[in-house]
Chain A
Amino acid sequence: MSDEKKFEPKIIGFLCNWCSYAAADLAGVSRIQYPPNIIIIRVMCSGRIDPSFILEAFKDGADGVLVAGCHLPSDCHYISGNFKALRRVTLLKKVLRDFGIEPERLRLEWLSASEGDRFAAIVRDMVEEIKKLGPNPLKAKEVEA
């Protein structure tokens, strides 16, 4: 791979089955175009997302991580999993810098099943933002070493 090649961020998205994954599907059926930088990992609930999954993704070179769940306060299919995701991601963001990762690389969003357009907009926006930040610093270090 040539160095000249433009930086294309790799983003991992942890999406809950009921609202946010459905929103991503809706973007598809509505043919709303967005950049192909995100790979979605489906979980049943945003409350399933262990902070260690996110750290692991960054450790393996993800340039960004999106966590998405059902809208607060009460859209969660499992009653309150979204609140748990909120707490965990908020805390993780606070310590992310200690690991050498800009907190902006981690995003938490609430998406309902009818928000296909908003899902696409979020991905577009995230890709732009991360392009400005550049590649995951951990990955850069690895290459140097």
Chain B
Amino acid sequence: MDEKVGAVLVVGGGVAGIQASLDLADSGFKVYLLDESTSIGGTMAQLDKTFPTNDCSMCILAPKLVTAGRHPNIQLITHSELEKVKGKAGNFQITILKHPRLVNVEKCTGCGLCAQNCPTEVPNEFDQNMSMRKAIYVPFPQAVPLKYAIDIENCIKCRLCERICPAKAVDFDQQPETVKINVGSIILAPGFEGFDCHLKTEYGYGRFLNVVSSIEFERMMNASGPFGGKIVRPFDGKIPRKIAFIQCVGSRDAQLGNNYCSAACCMYAIKEAVIVKEHSSNPLDCTIFYMDMRCYGKEFDAYYERAQGEWGIEFVRSRVASVTEDPSTGNLFLHYVEIEEPKEEEFDMVVLSVGMQPPKNVEKLAENLGIKLNKYRFCQTDTFSPLETSKPGIFVCGAFGGPKDIPESVAQASGAASKAMCIIATERGKLIAEKEFPPERDVSQEEPRIGVFVCRCGINIGSVVNVPKVVDYAKTLPNVVYAEENLYTCSQDAQKLVAEKIRQHNLNRVVVASCTPRTHEPLFRETVQEAGLNPYLFEMANIRDQCSWVHMHEHEKATEKAKDLVASMVAKARLLKPLKKPTIEVTPVGLVIGGGIAGMTAALELAKQGFEVHLVEKKKELGGHLLTMHYLFEKDDNPQEKLQAITKAVMENDKIHVYTGAEVVDVYGFVGNFKTRIKRQSGKEKEIDHGIVIVATGAVEYEPTEYLYGKDPRIMTQHELEEQIAKGEFKAKTVVVIQCVGARNEERPNCSRICCGQAMKNALKIKQVSPKTEVYVLYKDIRTYGFKEDYYREAATKGVLFVNYDDERKPRVVDEDGKLKVTFWEPVIKEEVEIGPDVVVLSAATLPNPDNKRIAEMLKVPLTKDGFFLEAHMKLRPVDFATDGVFLCGMAHWPKFIDESISQACAAAARAATILSKKTLDAEGTVAHIDEDLCIGCGVCISICPYKAIAKDENGLAKVNEVLCKGCGTCAASCPERAIMMHQFTDEQLIAQGIAVLRRATHG
């Protein structure tokens, strides 16, 4: 029974559960993904757009759903619940109760004939009951698995579906089933429950029809939602002209028992306001009523700024007291106090920004598993173990560990996957199957037969581009034998359809006109491969990111441009050739740059998973910022003790090679096979071979130039204050703390995320060591998101005074005859106030490490405008770079707290493991090829190749080493004899792309 099992149970199939499953399954572990619903997808599937990129939620989620659905190592167990857990870390025995679907999933093809004919209509919970569905249903069109289920409670048992189903899949005799499985570890990702707005009676939800919840509003905005993306008032179906958003409904509300901040609502409210305004053809006013705008994430403040400036969203700092309704019009009156003045304003519609609560039945889950919950009934975790529950072998990620947004949930999910892998590292690869594709069809003797699939992307493309016209046009293009439109070409049902059409029409080239190949090409390539085509016989026309989204108000011209883009890709597709992927060996060794908490955690995680790691730290000592931390929020945690323990673990681990006082000076190679030169301060150099790189270079504290900093020792940063308190030197009787020093200004518009928390921590410490000291905190917005709100409340309760300031009236600090004087505007009494503190503490911004630029250039990865590292995708790939094999964690990504850095570090390790766990990788088939008959052996390509991938063969002719070739194609552009064919980007293909468009313009 003590034998370890190389499988993991993931509870909850939202975006976090899916990410954890994918990382585990891609690293050699069997995954059981359990969800109560009949489909995976979670809350993200219901959302319309996502902040701050305004990506369509389903568009970025659907590829993950599909990938999870068809992964050979992920077994979906939907419509089921966890019944019993026995055993311990390494070997748990799980009992799962499968509810009867009354549909045999092996037989159901998802054709939907049953639902079409079902006579019973019931409210559709996926649309928040604003639309109807049938008693036999799938929750949403992109559902995975795309298998129908009968809602037993509402079914009238007429058995029409049973008679009509062509696959004979309906089975009314199905009984509840108990399934027993064995796993080595468990990951909990059950997500959250939206706050029930009825409980906030003063806002009239449930009584006033035009008061809706934010999740209802998301469904309303969604193209596949109840009103086809049109926002209408439930009261009279009219289009609203004036919408109010009320923040903190069910959050930051001690009366309701939810003192915590729900962390994501400020941003989603801005997003909803921006999107609804963008979609409205009539003038529309949006006002957001808030207490503090908490835009603390990566580039969130820039989004907030644009909402105020470019999009003209109004922001009112006020807690709305109540909402009343004019019953004759359905209009709503908001009663609130702004700057001490009672006000009333009329709106057409009110959206309540609902907070996050622990999932339903969480107590039962906790009891079943034997894990502890915190006082808000979310999962109990600690600063230094943010992914661990109170029971070994059981991990947590996503909103169940505390309210959080999607990127943080995704990072935590990968992190939890790493934790889960560490326990069963020895069992890697024992329970898995390899993905197998059908044999490839030989199309070399066939004329091109092209299929074109034009995606509506809900309304993202369909509301701007006339999709039927594009489809009709595509049918007229040479070699196009089939064309059709899809609501979402990336959904699982559409993927199946594409594969079917390939077989049915004997297609040998496929063009999908939708979004960008940078995100969706891998998915579609796999689909054509499953239909027996070489994956390179596929191309994408980007008619969303580079057409409908950027020409939103020019429908006709956008349609013409979409035709051009399709013509261009069809022209290229005609010339596509099947390609082979060369295999590359993987060096199962990691390199971690930066030895702070993030870097050390990443190194330890990789080592625990059984990989060798090189850890390079510039400073003489490991520890980074943690070295300067003396106390934490949690009173009994001593950061120095923790740091010593972690450093010791790193130093004593024989798989980790530590280089302190050393720098990376040169990186050469690519995923699986990097070669890096490390230089020590002594000047000694060492070259190492490794398969992946993790960047954990941290950040630095801003050295203020304002408020007399540096000129007067009584002005100090939060770090310096902490040092002073820790040394017992703190004696001040009056302290003024100024927030946002060097942040949220013109030069650096973004928030530094951690300073509000630091200010609370230090203010509380002052109150602890010197309760009589007066503390004033001058702030723009207090951004103590999540459970940190408790510390804000505690500080306020203990007498810390919080005074809001804005850019027009910044505080002033002067030295008057040796006495410090701080003048600031007090908005409540509407007067300038002057105080003479003993100490002024500046919450200084966190700046990117100045080394970032050099490291980014070496690794060929991008930086943000601020100078932090820019990940592959802000929402769903938070720790990946677009460059394969390079990962990111900690403050190199953005300022963050210890627990967040640790989560990301574990995530980077998990992502790295998806590569390091493989003996070989398939490299890209897009490499250069030299035609021996045309080559004259001049050697220009040899000298020009940046990868030294070309050499002369025994006949003096140039030859490409396919494994070294990265496919840039610069050799092909330089060959005087045109002897080099750059596969997938050949001269003929690229020229044909231009001609297709230009000839159309001249003759069209």
Q: Give A residues with C-beta under 8 Å from B.
A: 1, 10, 12, 14, 17-19, 21-22, 24-25, 27-36, 39-45, 47-53, 56-57, 60-62, 74-81, 84, 88, 112-114, 120, 139, 142
**Given A10, A30, A36, A42, which contacts B551 in the complex, CB threshold below 8 Å?**
A36
Q: Is B939 an interface residue (CB 8 A)?
A: no
- A48-B973, A120-B550 are contacts. A43–B985 as well, Cβ < 8 Å? yes
Contact B568 A41 (CB under 8 A): yes
* A37 to B982 Cα, complex, angstroms: 28
Cβ contacts A to B, 29 pairs, < 8 Å: A10-B997, A12-B997, A19-B862, A24-B546, A27-B550, A28-B550, A36-B547, A36-B551, A39-B568, A39-B997, A41-B990, A42-B542, A44-B968, A44-B985, A45-B968, A50-B972, A51-B973, A52-B987, A52-B991, A56-B994, A57-B998, A60-B994, A78-B860, A78-B947, A78-B970, A84-B970, A84-B973, A114-B865, A139-B1002
B53 within 8 A of A: yes
Tell me how many residues of B have a C-beta within 8 Å of chain A: 60
CB A91 to nearest CB in B, in angstroms, measures 12
Q: Is the CB of A34 within 8 A of B550?
A: yes
Q: A24-B545, A25-B542 are in contact. List 7 more A-B contacts (CB 8 A).
A: A10-B998, A27-B550, A28-B545, A52-B991, A53-B991, A75-B857, A78-B946
Is A40 a contact partner of B542 (Cβ separation < 8 A)?
yes
| Chain A: minimal CB distance from B705 (Å) | 26
Instruction: Known contacts A18-B882, A22-B882, A75-B857; decide if A32 and B990 are in contact (CB<8 Å).
Output: no
Q: Are A41 and B993 in contact (CB under 8 A)?
A: yes
**Total number of residue pairs linking A and B with CB closer than 8 Å:** 162
Which residues of B have CB within 8 Å of A61? 998-999, 1001-1002
Instruction: Say yes or no: B860 contacts A22, CB within 8 Å.
Output: no
- Chain A residue at minimal CB-CB distance from B303: A30
B546 touches which of A25, A50, A77, A113 (Cβ 8 Å): A25
Query: Would you call B944 an interface residue if the criterion is a C-beta within 8 Å of the partner chain's C-beta atoms?
Result: yes
In contact, A81 and B946 (Cβ under 8 angstroms): yes
Least distance between B463 CB and chain A CB atoms (Å): 13
Contact mask for chain B residues 970-989; partner A; CB cutoff 8 A; 1 contact, 0 none: 10111000000010010100
Chain A contacts of B321 at CB under 8 A? none
Given that A60-B999, A81-B946 are contacting pairs, would A29 and B862 also be in contact in the complex, using a CB cutoff of 8 Å?
no
> Contacting A30 at CB < 8 Å: which of B53, B554, B985?
B53
Task: Please give, as numbers and ranges, the residues of chain A lying within 8 Å of B542 by CB-CB distance.
Answer: 25, 40, 42
With most chain B CB atoms within 10 A of its CB, the pick from A12, A14, A41, A112 is A41
In the complex, the answer to whether A30 meets B882 with C-beta atoms within 8 Å is no
Whether A47 lies near B973 (C-beta < 8 A) is: yes
Nearest A-chain residue to B853, judged by Cβ: A74
Contact A22 B974 (CB under 8 A): no
Q: Which residue of B lies closest to A8 (CB)?
A: B557
Closest B residue to A82 by CB, please name it. Answer: B970
Q: A48 to B970, Cβ gap below 8 A? A: yes
With a CB–CB cut-off of 8 A, which chain B residues contact A43?
969, 985, 990
Q: Taking the nearest CB of chain B, how far is it from the CB of A33, in angstroms?
A: 6
Cβ-defined contact, A84 with B545, below 8 A: no
Residue B476 interfacial (CB < 8 Å): no
In the complex, the answer to whether A29 meets B999 with C-beta atoms within 8 Å is no
Known: A36-B551, A39-B564. A81 touches B545 (CB 8 A): no
How long is the Cα–Cα vector from A52 to B549 in the complex, in angstroms? 32
The complex places the Cα of A44 from the Cα of B986 at a distance, in Å, of: 11
Which of A32, A45, A112 gathers most chain B CB within 10 Å? A45
A35–B946 CA distance with the chains assembled, in angstroms:
36
Q: Taking the complex as formed, is B530 at the interface, i.e. its CB lies under 8 A from any CB of chain A?
A: no
| B920 at interface, CB cutoff 8 A | no
For residue B1002, which residue of chain A has the nearest CB? Answer: A61
- Interface pair B968/A28, CB less than 8 Å apart: no
Asked if A41 and B994 make an inter-chain contact with CB atoms under 8 angstroms apart, the answer reads: yes
Q: Across the interface, do B53 and A48 meet the contact criterion of CB distance under 8 Å? A: no
Please tell me if B54 contacts chain A, counting CB pairs below 8 Å: yes
A-B pairs, 5 with minimum CB distance: A28-B545, A47-B970, A48-B969, A78-B968, A45-B968
Task: Report the Cα distance A120→B864, complex, angstroms.
Answer: 18
B664 CB, min distance to chain A CBs, angstroms:
15
Inside 8 A of A112's CB, which chain B residues have their CB?
862-863
- Smallest Cβ-Cβ distance to B946: which chain A residue: A79
Residue ID in chain B nearest A47 by CB atoms? B970
Of B545, B564, B999, which one neighbours A25 at CB under 8 angstroms? B545
**CB–CB A44/B967 < 8 A:** yes
Q: Tell me which residues across on chain B come within 8 A of A50, comparing CB atoms.
A: 972-973, 987
| B605 CB to nearest chain A CB (Å) | 28
| Chain B residues in 8 Å Cβ range of A45 | 968-970
Also in contact, A53 and B974, with CB within 8 A (given A43-B969, A48-B968): no
Q: Is B966 an interface residue (CB 8 A)?
A: yes
Chain A residues positioned under 8 Å from B883 (CB to CB): 77
Asked if A28 contacts B546 (CB within 8 A), the reply is yes
Cβ of B870 within 8 Å of any chain A Cβ, yes or no, is: yes
Closest residue of A by beta carbon distance from B299? A114
| Residues in chain A near residue B973, CB distance under 8 A | 47-51, 84, 88
With CB as the reference atom, state the residue of chain A lying closest to B56: A29
Contact in complex: A62, B1002 (CB < 8 Å): no
Q: Check B994 against A32 for contact (C-beta < 8 Å).
A: no
A76 to B565: give the CA distance in the assembly, Å: 26
CB nearest neighbor in B for A139? B1002
Identity of the chain B residue whose Cβ is nearest the Cβ of A28 in the assembled complex? B545
Query: What's the Cα separation between A35 and B547 when bound, in Å?
Result: 10
Q: Within the complex, what minimum Cβ distance (angstroms) separates B544 from chain A?
A: 7
B990 touches A84 (CB 8 A): no
Q: With A18-B882, A88-B973 as given contacts, are A42 and B968 in contact (CB-CB < 8 Å)?
A: no
**Bound: A21/B516 CA distance, A:** 9
Minimum distance in angstroms from A124 CB to a CB of chain B? 11
Contacts of B560 in A (CB 8 A): 36
Interchain CA distance A45-B969 in the complex, whole Å: 7
Q: Shortest distance in angstroms between A6's beta carbon and chain B's nearest beta carbon?
A: 12
- Write out the residue numbers on chain A whose beta carbons fall within 8 Å of the beta carbon of B944: 84
Q: Let me know if A113 and B870 touch, CB within 8 A.
A: yes
Proximity string of chain B (938-958) to chain A, C-beta cutoff 8 Å, 1 when within and 0 when not: 000000101100000000000
Residue in contact with A47 in the complex, picked from B551, B552, B968, CB distance below 8 Å = B968
Nearest CB in chain A: distance from B58 CB, A? 15
Q: Does B278 contact A (CB under 8 A)?
A: yes
Most buried by B among A21, A88, A139: A21
Q: Is the CB of A74 within 8 A of B1001?
A: no
Q: Is the CB of A40 within 8 A of B546?
A: yes
Residue in chain B with minimal CB distance to A84: B970
* Listed residue (A31, A35, A75) with the most chain B CB atoms within 10 angstroms of its CB: A31
Measured CA separation A52–B831 after assembly (Å): 70
Is the C-beta of B553 less than 8 angstroms from some C-beta in chain A?
yes
Min CB–CB distance B990 → chain A (angstroms): 6
Evaluate whether A12 and B998 lie within 8 angstroms (CB atoms) in the complex, with A28-B544, A78-B970 already known. yes
In the complex, the answer to whether A32 meets B985 with C-beta atoms within 8 Å is no
A36 contacts which of B561, B863, B946, B994 (Cβ < 8 Å)?
A: B561
With A28-B549, A29-B54, A48-B972 known as contacts, the answer to whether A12 contacts B1002 (CB < 8 A) is: no
B987 touches A53 (CB 8 A): yes
Residues of chain A with a CB closer than 8 A to B557's CB:
36
Q: How far is the CA of A118 from the CA of B516 in the complex (A)?
A: 19
Q: Is B518 an interface residue (CB 8 A)?
A: yes
- Chain A residues within 8 Å of B998, by CB: 10, 12, 57, 60-62
Would B860 and A53 count as touching, CB distance under 8 A? Answer: no
Q: Is the CB of B995 within 8 A of A60?
A: yes
Q: Does B112 sit within 8 A of A, measured CB to CB?
A: no
The answer to whether B551 touches A75, judged by C-beta atoms less than 8 angstroms apart, is no
| With A22-B882, A81-B968, A139-B1002 as contacts: A12 and B994 at CB distance below 8 Å | yes
Instruction: Verify A114–B969 contact, CB threshold 8 A.
Output: no
> Which residue on A lies nearest to B55, using beta carbons?
A29
Does B517 touch A at the CB level, under 8 Å? Answer: yes
**Distance from A100 Cβ to chain B, minimum over Cβ atoms (Å):** 17
- How far is A51 from B976 in the complex, measured between Cα atoms in Å? 12
B182 at the interface (CB under 8 A from A): no
Question: A33 to chain B: which residues have CB within 8 Å?
Answer: 550-553
Asked whether B558 is an interface residue with its Cβ less than 8 Å from the other chain, the reply is yes
Contacts of A120 in B (CB 8 A): 550
